[in-house]
């Protein structure tokens, strides 16, 4: 099971400080009483090695083990995507760039650019098909995550149902709005689809009504020592 390590540090700071070595164990998610009112104490997770992320190179994720159930927990720093390569901020910046380009295009011509035009503009280095494979999941996961968080917390989100990353950034007064929304939705993250939530991405596919290909490289936990 993954839990989010709620840190404000950047990936460079995490790497430089080797924060996976010093991070404290969270409360055990397996030993918590389901009703929430039982007297059972959380077990006290024990350290259980690490696994390596493919990107950013050298980054490690701390794992813990529940001595009562034998199940493991990995503590994913808040700046990383769940089970997918890459950082939350870079996905957010890509979507903000697309929104900015669309706004500019609309003001100039009254029309929007097609997704393949955006893909060619953003990733001329990998060809049209590669660019689309690169761009589509990024747009989908961010749009779906914004939709989910807005449905859960309508009072704490921009009023417009069309609001994208740029409007959310203005509303929250930050350039790291996805990190902010992960914090806001902390209690619901296991019900929200990966890679921004921590739940299964099949939920995302079902909601979007089309196959959601996990084609940017898995980052599964290796077995800890
Ligand atoms: Zn436990």
How far does residue 192's CA lie from ligand 1's centre (Å)? 23
- What per-residue confidence (pLDDT) applies to 221? 44
The tokens 């050298």 sit on which residue? Answer: 58
Rounded to the nearest angstrom, the distance between the alpha carbon of 66 and the centre of ligand 1 is: 4
User: Which pTM value belongs to this model?
Assistant: 0.81
Compute, in angstroms, the gap from residue 100 CA to the centroid of ligand 1.
46
Is the per-residue pLDDT at 220 higher than 60? no
Residue 219: band (very low, low, confident or very high) from pLDDT cuts 50, 70, 90: very low
Over residues 194-209, the pLDDT tens digits come to: 899 998 755 544 544 4
Dump pLDDT digits (tens) for 96-123: 999 999 999 999 999 999 999 999 999 9
Ligand 1 centroid from CA 41, angstroms: 9
* Residue-averaged pLDDT of the chain: 85
Length of the chain equals 225
Predicted confidence at residue 196, as pLDDT, reads: 93
Q: What percent of the chain has pLDDT over 70?
A: 84
Q: How far is the CA of 73 from the centre of ligand 1 (A)?
A: 10
| Confidence at residue 41, expressed as pLDDT on a 0 to 100 scale | 64
Closest C-alpha among 159, 138, 141 to residue 150: 159
Between 223 and 146, where is the model more confident? 146
Q: How far is the CA of 95 from the centre of ligand 1 (A)?
A: 39
Going from the Cα of 69 to the center of ligand 1, the distance in angstroms, rounded, reads: 6
Q: Which residues, in sequence order, are CB contacts of 101 under 8 Å at separation 6+? A: 113, 118, 121
Task: Write down the pLDDT at residue 206.
Answer: 53
Closest CA to 78 of 64, 94, 92: 92
Residue 43 confidence (pLDDT): 73
Distance from the alpha carbon of residue 47 to the mean position of ligand 1, in angstroms: 12
Asked if pLDDT for residue 149 goes beyond 60, the answer is: yes
170 token code pair: 């203005």
Better-predicted residue by pLDDT, 220 or 126? 126
> Ligand 1 center to residue 193 CA distance, Å?
24
Question: Strand order of the sheet with strand 72-77?
Answer: 2-5, 72-77, 60-65, 46-52
pLDDT at 128 over 50: yes
Cα–ligand 1 centroid distance for 29 (angstroms): 7
The pLDDT tens digits of the residues spanning 156-207 come to 999 998 899 999 999 999 999 999 999 999 989 988 888 999 987 555 445 4
pLDDT at 32 over 60: yes
Is residue 67 a contact partner of residue 44, using CB atoms and an 8 Å limit?
Answer: yes
| Beta pairing, strands 72-77 & 2-5 | parallel
CA of 65 to the centre of ligand 1 (A): 8
For residue 203, what pLDDT is reported?
A: 53
């Amino acid at each position: 099971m993954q839990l989010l390590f709620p840190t404000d540090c950047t990936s460079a700071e995490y790497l430089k400080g080797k924060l996976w070595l010093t991070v404290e164990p969270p409360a055990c998610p397996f030993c918590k009483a389901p009703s929430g009112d039982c007297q059972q104490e959380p077990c006290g997770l024990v350290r259980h090695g690490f696994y390596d992320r493919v990107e950013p190179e050298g980054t490690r994720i701390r794992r813990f083990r529940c001595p009562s159930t034998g199940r493991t927990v990995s503590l994913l720093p808040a700046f990383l995507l769940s089970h997918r390569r890459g950082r939350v901020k870079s996905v957010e910046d890509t979507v903000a760039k697309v929104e900015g380009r669309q706004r500019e295009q609309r003001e100039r011509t009254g029309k929007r650019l097609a997704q393949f035009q955006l893909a060619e503009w953003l990733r001329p280095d990998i060809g049209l098909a590669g660019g689309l494979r690169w761009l589509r999941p990024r747009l989908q996961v961010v749009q779906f995550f914004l939709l989910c968080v807005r449905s859960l917390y309508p009072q704490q989100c921009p009023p417009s149902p069309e609001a994208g990353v740029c409007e959310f950034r203005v509303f929250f007064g930050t350039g790291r709005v996805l990190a902010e929304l992960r914090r806001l939705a902390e209690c619901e993250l296991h019900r929200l689809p990966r890679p921004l939530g921590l739940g299964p991405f099949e939920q995302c596919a079902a909601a979007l009504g089309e196959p959601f290909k996990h084609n940017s490289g898995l980052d599964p936990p290796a077995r800890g020592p």
